[in-house]
Structure 1
Amino acid sequence: MMLNFFDQFMSPMLLGIPLMALALTLPWILYPAPTSRWVNNRLLALQGWFISRFTQQLLLPINVGGHKWAILLTSLMLFLITINLLGLLPYTFTPTTQLSLNLGFAVPLWLATVILGMRNQPTVALGHLLPEGTPIPLIPVLIIIETISLFIRPLALGVRLTANLTAGHLLIQLIASAAFVLLPMMPTVAILTTTVLFLLTLLEVAVAMIQAYVFVLLLSLYLQENV
C-alpha cells in the first residue's frame, strides 16, 4: 500500500493529544545555559560568539530604538534554525511546515512593527503608503496598492518558510523512495540516486538555516521602516 507523501507533515498524536507543543519546547533543552565560571567551555564560547556576531549584523542598519528587539529577534532566529534542522532527522516532525504556526510567528511580530510605527512616527508610517512625487490621478490607486502590499507581508513571511521547507522535504522523500525501489533492480542507478539524495540533504541543511535567517531579516527590515 502506497502512503501519502504528505503524511509526514501531519502533527503526530499520542493518546489523542497533538505533540506540537513538545516539538516546540524541545529546542530550548538542547542549548547549554551559561555557567557562573569565569571561563566557559568551547561550546558556550562558540555559541556566545555566534549570537553576538549575528545580533551585530542584524541590528547594524537599524536605529537605536530598534535595538530593544535584539533578544526577541536573536531568540527567534535560533529557535527557527533548531526546529528546521531537527526536522531533517529521520522519524521526526518539522513544526515549521505548518502554515498556521508560521503565520502565528509572522502576524504578531509584523503587527507589532506596524503599531510601533503608528505610535512613534505616524506621519512617516503613513507616508510609506504614498511615494513622494506621485501624480494626483494615481494617488488613490497607489494608496490601495501599498495598503495591500503592507497586509500581504505577514502572509508572504509564513508562506515562504512553509513552501521552502515543504518542497525540500517532499524532494527528499521522493528521491529516497526512488532509491529504495531501484536498489534491487538497478543497483548502479540506486547508488547514483543515493548520491543525489546526499547532496540534496546538504542543500536542505543550508535552506533550513537560510530560511530562518531570511524570516528574521525581513522582520528587521519591517522594524527599520517603523523605528
Structure 2
Amino acid sequence: MKKFRWPLFLIKLTHYEYWTWWAFYLPMLPYWVYLAAKTRSMAYFTAANPGMDWGGFFGESKSDILRQIPAEFLPQTLFFSGTETVETVENALLEAGLPYPVVVKPDVGERGTKVEKVNTAAELAAQIRAIGAAFIVQEFVQEPLEFGILYSRFPGEKKGRVSSVTRKGFLSVTGDGRSTIDELMQQETRARFQLDTMRARLGEGICEIIPAGETRLLEP
C-alpha cells in the first residue's frame, strides 16, 4: 500500500521553517511599528549588533564578520572582490594550498543563496559568474554535522549566554536496494522540497539505485 503524502503547500502552510522571509516577519509588523514609535527610530533593532552593518538585519558582509574571528577558529578562507579573472582566483588557491573541493559563497547573501561546493575549475568559473559580485572561497570542511549557536551579551556584562544550539544535518538518503535516489527522496518530507534542485544537479544520477543500508550524502 502506497504511503499517503501531504501536499507540499499544506506542509509549508503549517511549518513556519518553510515560509518565505516576508511571510515569517509580516506578523511582527504591528509590534515593530509600536517599538519604532516608542524609540523614535525605525531601525532601533540594529543596536543589538553594533559590530555588523544594519545590526545584521540585512546586507551584512561575511568577510567583515569573519575578520573579527581569530583565524585558528576558521576554515581556510580567501576573499575576492568579484572583479578577478578565474585564472587569478585559481592561482590564489594554488598559492594558499587550497585544493578542490572548496565552498564558494557571495560575500553578501542570506539563507544559503548561491552557496555551492565547487569541485573543478569549470564549476568555479560558473559559480563566479553566477554570483557576479564579491565572494569568498573556503576550505571544504568534511564533517557530518553542523551546529548553529546563538550567543548574546548585554552592554556592561563580562560574560554573555548561549540561548540556543541548533543541530543542522545535511540532506541524505539511505538505500533499500530497490528504490532510486529520486524515489527515496519522495519518501521524506524535507527531501521532497529539494527534489527539483537535486534533479537538476544530479541529472541521470538521480535514477541510481543505492544498495540497502548505504547512506548517500546529497549535499553540500
- Report which of the two has the higher share of strand: 2
TM-score by length of 1: 0.26
- Report which of the two has the higher share of helix: 1
TM-score by length of 2: 0.27
